[in-house]
């Protein structure tokens, strides 16, 4: 456990002995507060400087910083993950532009160059929805990590993409709760309080006997073909999350499992980038292909 997490763990667990309600609210606030803000890498700066920059307001004084390359036609949306930023997916931009696509990306609140201290899955939904309203149907939506969950929340609420790519993706919101609680060693009663706060603030219409949002419930809503890429050595989001996504979408999903790339290096891997670009450019194809370094699982 990192020092910052250790302090938070001690404080929240101690507070829960005095006031479970306050501890639950504190855990909920921390659940949506990135403890690290990724910095722009020098290798990403030149490309980012060529983007048209804007912003999307998401309420509560929060906003996302948006980036666009191209004229807006045949748009592809890139969605970053937790404690990340739009520029981490910049390796995909040149190839997409060469293939005639425009590229749209954003820094979510509390990430990259956007202001604020926290962001939620509702913010991701609203940002993706606003960009869809501006650019129309996306030729493809490409998301990483927690950005996958946020993007599908947008797709559930009317956003349309002809194809979808998930990289190191989260399938189940409940996975995030369990991982967060384990990292901070939250007491059982405090984890229950956190779940109550999440239901009240994020999923108020969800019956108590149902789990929070999961991509496994989306196969009937999202009809687009999927490319699901996950590394078997991902220590942040376990590969079983990728397998759950692919299994839920059946023969509309192609699952590519890589090795040795982990959670973040996978975004810059040349063969992963090539696989994504080929999927975006080609017509729909069955979920049974493989490349030199990846195993495709049925």
What pLDDT, on the 0 to 100 scale, is given for residue 8?
A: 83
Nearest to 109 by CA among 97, 127, 135: 127
Whether 170 contacts 241, CB under 8 Å:
yes
- Tell me the C-alpha distance between 8 and 6, whole Å: 5
Residues 6+ away with beta carbon under 8 Å from 5: 35, 183, 184
- Token look-up 């759950």 returns 244
Contacts of 163 (CB under 8 A, 6+ apart): 139, 140, 141, 224, 225, 226, 227, 279, 280, 284
Q: In this structure, what DSSP letter does residue 101 have? A: -
DSSP state of 198: H
Question: What is this structure's pTM?
Answer: 0.91
| CA–CA dist 145, 150 (Å, integer) | 9
Cα 258 to Cα 13, 215, 276: the distances in Å are: 38, 21, 13
Tokens of 269: 């891997």
Tell me the C-alpha distance between 118 and 59, whole Å: 12
**Mean pLDDT of residues grouped by 10 in the chain (298 residues)?**
78 86 93 89 94 93 96 96 96 97 97 94 96 97 97 94 98 94 92 93 80 89 96 97 97 97 96 98 50 36
Task: Burial-class residue 205 by CB neighbours within 10 Å (0-12, 13-18, 19+).
Answer: exposed
How far apart, in Å, are the Cα atoms of 219 and each of 155, 170, 215, 222, 266?
11, 15, 7, 6, 25
Cα dihedral angle (37, 167, 177, 105), rounded to 10 degrees?
50
How far, rounded to the nearest angstrom, does the alpha carbon of residue 159 sit from its chain's CA centroid?
Answer: 15
Sign, Cα dihedral of 274, 141, 53, 36: negative
Q: What is the pLDDT of residue 52?
A: 97
Residue 46 neighbours by CB under 8 Å, 6+ apart: none
Amino acid 209: pLDDT: 67
pLDDT of residue 296: 39
Pairing of strands 62-69, 52-59: antiparallel
Please enumerate in sequence order all residues whose Cβ is within 8 A of that of 268, keeping only pairs 6 or more positions apart, or say none: 91
Say if residues 134 and 73 touch (Cβ distance below 8 Å). no
């Amino acid at each position: 456990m990192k020092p910052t997490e250790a302090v938070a763990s001690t404080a929240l667990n101690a507070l829960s002995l005095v006031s479970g309600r306050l501890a639950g609210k504190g855990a909920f606030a921390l659940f949506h507060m990135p403890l690290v803000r990724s910095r722009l890498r020098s290798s990403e700066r030149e490309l980012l400087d060529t983007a048209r920059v804007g912003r999307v307001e998401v309420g509560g004084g929060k906003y996302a910083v948006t980036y666009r390359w191209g004229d807006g036609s045949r748009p592809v949306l890139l969605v970053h993950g937790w404690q990340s930023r739009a520029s981490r997916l910049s390796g995909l931009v040149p190839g997409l532009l060469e293939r005639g696509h425009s590229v749209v990306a954003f820094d979510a609140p509390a990430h990259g160059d956007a202001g604020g201290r926290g962001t939620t899955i509702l913010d991701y939904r609203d940002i993706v929805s606003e960009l869809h309203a501006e650019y129309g149907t996306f030729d493809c939506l490409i998301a990483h990590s927690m950005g996958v969950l946020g993007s599908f929340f947008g797709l559930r609420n009317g956003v349309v993409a002809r194809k979808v790519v998930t990289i190191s993706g989260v399938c189940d919101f409940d996975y995030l709760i369990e991982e967060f609680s384990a990292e901070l060693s939250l007491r059982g009663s405090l984890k229950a309080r956190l779940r109550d706060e999440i239901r009240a603030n994020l999923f108020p219409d969800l019956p108590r006997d149902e789990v929070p949002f999961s991509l496994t419930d989306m196969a009937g809503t999202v009809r687009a073909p999927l490319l699901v890429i996950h590394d078997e050595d991902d220590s942040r989001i376990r590969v079983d999350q990728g397998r759950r996504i692919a299994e839920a979408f059946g023969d509309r999903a192609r699952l590519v499992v890589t090795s040795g790339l982990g959670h973040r290096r996978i975004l810059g891997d040349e063969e992963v980038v090539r696989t994504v670009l080929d999927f975006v450019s080609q017509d729909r194809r069955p979920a049974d292909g493989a490349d030199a370094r990846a195993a495709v699982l049925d």
